[in-house]
Structure 1
Amino acid sequence: MTPTNLFKLISILFILTPFFAWSAPQMTLIDRVVAVVNDNIILKSELDAEVNLAKQDLQARNIPVTNPEELASKVLDKIILERLQLQRINQLGIKIADDELFAQIQDIAKQNNLTVAELRDRLNLSQKNGFESFRERIRQQMLFQKLREVEVLSKTQVTEDEVSNFIQRQALVQSDVEYHLGHIMVSLPESATPAERDASKQKAQDILQKIRTGEDFSQMAVRYSEGSKALQGGDLGWLGVDQIPTFFNDALNQLEVGETSAVIRSPVGFHIIQLQGKRNKNSQIVKQYHLYRFILLSQDARNKQQPSPTLVKLADSLTSLEAFKQLNEKYSDIPASVNANGNLGWQTAKEMPPEYFQAIESLQPGHAAKPFATEQGWVILFLDGVRDQDLSLKDKRKQAMQTLRMKKANESYEIWLRRLKDEALIDIRLEDPEIMEKQPSHEEALSN
């Protein structure tokens, strides 16, 4: 369950169930210890309160409580796990800032079409100090989520291959993905004999072997394909998922861009496809520049209109990344911290300062730009590469990474909780008949 859904569920429990109440029972019970968790005790009154909440939740879902003892046992187990997590939270010093908590409460109120003030009033009407109890319960759930991120999610690793495979599987069921396919077909005559089928299949295998040994796919299509696009080099153009023949799907699912399938059988013949491109209909193609930067310290660089001829000549001589990196040795008197972050990575024109883009706009990769002045001194940029990047694909990879990490974390979270429980000192006293026996209230005891 996501944090949002969890908080929404809590909000429903506190707001939308008409029978919600945390009112004190008619009898004030003398507390007994029902469990000890390390150095922390759980009282019967705490268990009873949580059992009442669990019953209300089950009633709201129209689920009858058929075994109260079993329910109490399950609720106690939940409380034990919560106590263990709270102990771990204290050990790690995990905190929830007040502004984080208020933002979450605002979100819950908004989901229920309420202001925070209206939410507070409703909770306080339902129960004395209802809003305060609600707020602390939300804080606790947020603490549990942070603990999960620290202990489980942060240690969950996802490989790039897993991300690629995930995106590929997802893409096949998304209508906004398009594929650029090359196609070669060796047709079968109607009512083909076994010998004719074998001959056609062998011809397709021979074509595939030539492609895999270096022959150009489009040329092979022109020469051998009997498909409708043979004269276009087998280019089927960009196709949506609903336009691709279903007998291509399994093979397409295994292909990366640039790869060629094995021979595919269909009722009309044998096919070879090549995945020549893949894109999102809503793709955001931008040009990115891979930049390196070197700063020559100078106090009066801003006062000079142009760099010196010597400096310009130096920049012109930097025709390789290796030569550019040697500037650190050439100017070893410059503090290392000045150029410690010289690799600026891939950036779009909008992401870099305007003077940077102006310097490299007409520059060819593998060259340094003309030096320009800044407050620190003269800046020399080296353009290592230029590429077209689909930002929507970058976002998709990020989302896939998060989805896979969460999926893996979900798989290991219960294991982590049980391990936490196994390593703790827990003494459960729920089966003690004296504990479960209803005790008289103080008023009843006095009257007797």
Structure 2
Amino acid sequence: MKKFKNVSILLSFVCLCFVTHVQAAKLLDKVAVVVNQGVILENEIQNMMGTLKQQAIQNGQELPSDKALRVQVTEKLILNTLQQQFAERIGLQISDAQVQQAVQQIAQEQNMTLEQLRQEVIRSGSDYESYLEQIRQELTANEVRRAMVSRRIYVSPQEIDGLVALLKERGKQNEEYHLGHILIGLPSEPSAADVESAQKRANKVIDLLSEGSDFKKVAIGASSGARALEGGDMGWMNVNEMPTLFAEAVVDQKIESVIGPIRSGAGFHILKIFDIRGRQTVEVSEVNARHILIKPTIILSDEKAQNMLNRFVKQVKAGEKDFAELAKEYSEDPGSAAKGGELGWADPSMYVPEFKQALAELEPGEYSQPIKTVHGWHLVQLLERRVQDATENAYQDHAYRMIFNRKFNEEAEAWLREIRDQAFVEVVGDNS
């Protein structure tokens, strides 16, 4: 009987401890805010406040009072919860691979390995799995915001053109031109015959320069300008420093361009741009290639596909077969097969890595060995390379991004206000 009584007391003590533990856990895990059909727990608020305080200490930053900080943290969690709910509604999910990629980027930015980052998170008092979940939620919020806000934004061609003009104008203020100048002069009161004669001489100078004659030598022999003996060299000038007539003519011209004849009261002017500095130019390398694509099947093995292309390249090199005809007959890339395998001019970075690497190793006219990509087996021939001036496209892209980003930030704020205003939010009890 005494033994039973002792066991009863022990059980009562264990139950009391369990109840006390549960009450403490409930106190920390109690519902702090109801957001539509979801909730924000007290420990979520406390954890975020703790993290912010620790970051503030590390950065030597002062924070407001706990009451003010709690208000900000609670609002942040409400918006985050609303965005997670929106993501669930539209079926948006962030994969484990996307989370790992984001964590890898964070580690690289902090010059850490993944393991060092994990240890740092643990050392700071956080749970690593909770850290990964926070990353997932942040990615989800960003993605749902991008998906919902982007559709509300329209950037018109007129907006882009206007900003491009402004960007170009700003850029031109920094441009300097090294100019050469030849003047085929006219008398102060020229007759029609004087003008015609000067015009012919100016055209003759243009012809000489087009045929490769040295500009400075021609200037010394033919120019009436003040710098004739210096080979017409006017030195470096900003567009604001040169005559308006010249400024209008050289804008948007390239190095080595010969411009003219330009008529003025003094005669006919011929300009050459020796060099330009301060101009932002973008050039891209492009390739024109063709290929034959063979896709392995249950019947056609990888080895047979590879051997098939090896046979094709031997036949083409020997002159027995025509590459274009083989592509039309055998290539399983319908878009290029009809064109004899030609892919047209393109930036090689648009191709899959193996295809891009094969092109990089070829000279114009050369054939690759059969290469395998995710699409199948390819026989590739590089036809030509060229360097294209992509400055105009770069201006257009830059202007679009600037306008889009400005509108996105404005619309994102508006969208968040809308979903906040439309939501059911109730702060439970006294959480101050």
TM-score by length of 2: 0.51
Alignment of 1:326-337 (within 5 A): 337=334
- Which residues in structure 2 correspond to 1:339-358 (within 5 Å)? 339-340=337-338, 342-346=342-346, 352=359, 357-358=364-365
Matched residue SS, 2:319: coil
Per-residue deviation, 1:142:
3.1
Q: Which residue in the other structure is 2:304 paired with?
A: none
1:345: how far off?
1.6
Matched, 1:138 2:135: yes
Once the two structures are superposed, the pairs formed by residues 41-440 of structure 1 within 5 Å of their partners are 41-54=39-52, 60=59, 62-65=61-64, 68-69=67-68, 71-109=69-107, 111-112=109-110, 114-127=112-125, 129-151=126-148, 168=168, 179=177, 181=179, 226=225, 228=227, 232=231, 244=238, 247=241, 255-257=251-253, 290=288, 301=312, 304=315, 306-307=318-319, 337=334, 339-340=337-338, 342-346=342-346, 352=359, 357-358=364-365, 387-389=386-388, 401=397, 405=401, 408-423=404-419, 425-430=422-427, 435-436=429-430
CA distance in 2, matches of 1:67, 1:302: 75
DSSP-derived class of the 2:429 partner? helix
- Give 1:359 shift: 6.0
Deviates more, 1:421-430 or 1:398-407: 398-407
| Aligned-residue identity in percent | 19
**CA shift in 2, pair 1:359/1:118, >3 Å:** closer
Residues in 2 aligned to 1:332 and 1:178: alpha-carbon distance in whole angstroms? 55
Larger radius of gyration: 2
Q: What is the distance in 2 between the residues matched to 1:84 and 1:216?
A: 75
> Please, what TM-score do these two structures have when normalized by structure 1?
0.50
The DSSP-based 3-state class of the residue aligned with 1:81 is: helix
Structure 2 CA distance for partners of 1:119 and 1:30, relative to 1, 3 Å: closer
Q: Which runs of 5+ in 1 are unaligned?
A: 1-24, 186-198, 200-206, 264-270, 316-323, 361-371, 439-448
What is the letter of the counterpart of residue 33 of structure 2?
A: V
SS of the residue 1:257 aligns to: coil
Distance 1:355 1:116, change over 3 A: closer
- Runs of 5+ unmatched residues, structure 2: 1-23, 189-194, 208-214, 263-268, 294-307, 349-355
C-alpha change, 1:134 and 1:387, in structure 2 (3 Å) is closer
AA of the residue aligned to 1:357? P
Q: 1:423 to 1:142 in 2, by over 3 A?
A: closer
Q: For 2:407 and 2:424, locate their aligned partners in 1 and report how far apart those are by CA, in whole Å.
A: 28
Name the Cα RMSD after superposition.
Answer: 6.4
1:123 maps to amino acid? V
The amino acid across from 2:61 in the alignment is N
CA shift for structure 1 position 137: 1.9
How many residues get paired?
A: 340
CA 1:350–1:100: 2 relative to 1, 3 Å: closer
SS in 2 for 1:436: coil
What amino acid is aligned across from residue 430 of structure 2 in structure 1?
A: M
**2:20 counterpart residue number:** none
